[in-house]
Structure 1
Amino acid sequence: MDKTELVSDHRVADPGASVMKKLPEVTLAFWIMKIAATTLGETAGDLFAQTLKLGYFLTTILLFLIFVVTLVVQLRSRRYNPFFYWTVILSTSMAGTTMSDFMNRDASSKYLSDGATSLGWGPQGLGLGYPAGAAILISLLVVIFTVWKFTGMTFVIRDIVTFRAEVLFWSAILVSNTLGTSMGDFLSDSSGLGYAGGALLVTGLLAVLVALMRVPAVPNVVLFWIAFVLTRPLGATAGDFLTKPTAKGGLDLGTAGSSAVLFAVLVGLMGYAHLRERRTLAT
C-alpha cells in the first residue's frame, strides 16, 4: 500500500471509477479542512448548548437530526461533492461535541457558568466522566471496525464506493469525532496541560504518525484512522482556546465570533475543493 496516502494525491486506477467516487482523496488539504471542520464543530456545539443555553440534551437531539439529514444527502449523491461531504463532517463534529458533553458531564458547578444552576431543558448530563465515556466510545468504535472487517469491504477511504461501506464509514466517523471530543476535553480540563498544552501534545502525536508513514510494517490505513481520531481533540482544544475566558487560559473570542470566522474559512476551503474536483473530472 502506498505510504503517501495521508498527505498526497492519488488517482483511481480505473479512469471510469472516478464517476462513482463518493469520498475525497486524502491529501494535505484534506487534513487542513478536517481540522477546520472539527474546530468549528467544537465552537458551534458550545454555541448552541452553552451560549444559547439550549443545554446538552436538546442540542444533542437537534444536531443529531441535522447529521441524519446531511448524511442522507451525502448517501444519495452519486459522486463526491465537497460541500456534501464536508457538511457531514461538520455535522458529526457538532453532534460529537454535545454527545460527548452529555455523556461525560453533569449539573456540577464546574460545568456551568457563574451563578447558573441548570443548562437548558432536560437532563444536564449523564456524568460518566471522561475515562468511562472514552471507554464506551472506544468499545463502540471497535465493534464498528469488527463488523466492517467481517464484511470484507475495504477500509481505504479512496476505495469506498458502495452504500454499505459508506454507512460503516460514517458510523465510524461519528463515533471517532465524539471520542476525539472527549479526549480533547480531558486534555483541556483535567490533564493540567490546558488548551495550548493539549493542542501541542496532539500536534506532537500527529507528527509521530507522519514519521511512521516511512515504516513499512505499519499499515497506512491504521495511521489514517488514528490521525482522524486525533485531529478531533486538536480541534476541540483549539476551539476551547479560542472561546474560553482568559482566566481559564483561552483567548475569550466567544463562540459566536469564532464560529463565524471558522465557518467562513471552511466554506472557502470547500469552494476551493469543489473547483479542484471539477478540474480533475474535466481532465
Structure 2
Amino acid sequence: MFWITKIAATTLGETGGDAVSMSWLGETTPGATGLGYLIGTAIFAVVFALAVWAQIRAKRFHPFLYWFAIIASTTVGTTLADYVTRSLGIGYTGGSGLLLAMVLASLWLWHRTLGTVSVDSVGDPKSEAFYWLTIMCSQTLGTALGDWVADTAGLGYTGGMLIFGGLLAVVAALYFWTKTSRTPLFWAAFILTRPLGAVLGDFLDKPVARGGLELSRYSASLALLAFIAAGILLFPQRAAARAH
C-alpha cells in the first residue's frame, strides 16, 4: 500500500505541478515566458520546506504529515524539472543527466557524512535532512526522465508506463526472490515510482492528439488527493516497530 500511495502521490505531483505552472501561471499559452515554472517552483519550494520542517520537528509518526511532505517534494520536483529542461533550454536529455548527478551527489554526501544511506538509519535531524534532500532530487529527476522517455525517446505515455512499471516489477522480483541489499532496492523503487507517476499524470491531462486523456488538471489532482487520503484512512499506517 505504501508503494501504491507513492505512485498516486507522484502522479498528483505531476498534475498538481502542471495545474499551477501551466494552467494557472499560463505556461501553455502563446505568451508564456518560462517564468511560470520558476514562480511555481518558488511556491512549492516554500511549501516543501515548511512540510519538511514540520516532519523533522514531529515527535512521532503522523501519516498525513509524512505524505504531505512527499506530495510537496513531488510538486516542487515537477516545476523545477520543467524549469531546468524547458526554461533553461537544456532539454530532457541534458536535464535528466544533470538531475541524476544531483541524486547521486546527494546520496554520496549522505553516505560520506553518516556512513550509510539506509532508511533504517533515519532517526535524527541530520539524517532526515539528507533523506528529504535525496527525495526531492529524485522527484525532480523522475519528472525529466519521464518526459525524456515519453517525448525524446518517442515511446509516448503508454510506453513510459510499461517501461517504468516493468522496471519496478524487476525491483520487486529482486526484493522477494534474491538477497540483494534492501538499501539500493529501496532507492531504486523510490526513484522509479516518480517517472511512472510523471508519465501517468501526463497521460491523464495531456491533449488527446498527444496520446493523453485531456482531463482537467484540477479535477485529476483532486481525485488523486482523495484517493491518497482514502488509502491512509482505510489502511492505517504506523511508526516503525523500533526507533531508528
- 1:103–1:133: 8 Å Cα contact kept in structure 2? yes
| Aligned pair partner of 1:231 in 185, 193, 204 | 193
Residue in 2 aligned with 1:18? none
**In structure 2, distance between residues paired with 1:100 and 1:145:** 19
Looking at structure 2, the residues matched to 212 and 195 of structure 1 have their Cα atoms a distance apart, in angstroms, of: 26
Amino acid at match of 2:110: W
Q: Name which of 17, 22, 41 aligns with 1:45.
A: 17
Q: Percent identity?
A: 40
How far does residue 151 in structure 1 lie from its aligned partner after superposition?
Answer: 2.3
Q: Is the counterpart of residue 36 in structure 1 residue 8 in structure 2?
A: yes
Deviation at 1:67, TM superposition (A): 0.5
Cα shift readout 1:138-183 (whole Å, capped 9, x = no counterpart)? 2222221112112235423244111110000000000000001111
**Match status 1:84 vs 2:46:** no
Aligned to 1:6: none
- Alignment of 1:140 onto 2:102: yes
The residue type paired with residue 87 of structure 1 is F
* SS of residue matched to 2:126: helix
Aligned match of 1:245: 207
Stretch deviating more after TM superposition (262-271 or 197-206): 262-271
TM-score with structure 1 setting the length:
0.78
Q: Higher helix proportion, which one?
A: 2
Is 1:93–1:178's contact at 8 Å kept on the other side of the alignment?
Answer: yes
Alignment-derived partner of residue 74 in structure 2: 93
User: Is the aligned partner of 1:156 residue 2:108?
Assistant: no
The equivalent of 1:277 in structure 2 is 238
Amino acid at match of 1:247: A
Judge which range, 184-193 or 256-265, deviates more.
Answer: 184-193
RMSD over aligned Cα atoms: 1.7
Letter in 2 for 1:84: L
Worse-matched range after superposition: 64-73 or 156-165: 156-165
CA–CA distance in 2 between the matches of 1:215 and 1:254? 42
- Paired with 2:112 and 2:152, the residues of 1 have a C-alpha distance of 37
1:251 deviation in Å?
0.8
Runs (5+) with no aligned partner, structure 1: 1-28, 106-124
Secondary structure at the aligned position of 1:277 is classed as: coil
Q: Which amino acid aligns with 1:31?
A: W
Partner of 1:71: 52
Cα shift at 1:130: 1.4
Q: 1:215 aligns with which of 178, 183, 186?
A: 178
Match of 2:89 among 127, 130, 134: 127
Give 1:209 deviation, angstroms.
Answer: 1.1
Conserved 8 A contact 2:114-2:127: no
Call closer, same or farther: CA 1:276–1:170 in 2, change over 3 Å.
closer
Matched residue pairs, number? 231
1:96–1:177: 8 Å Cα contact kept in structure 2? yes
Aligned to 1:60: 41
Which structure has the greater CA radius of gyration? 1
Taking structure 2 as the reference length, the TM-score comes to: 0.90
Contact 1:154 1:160 in 2 (8 A): no
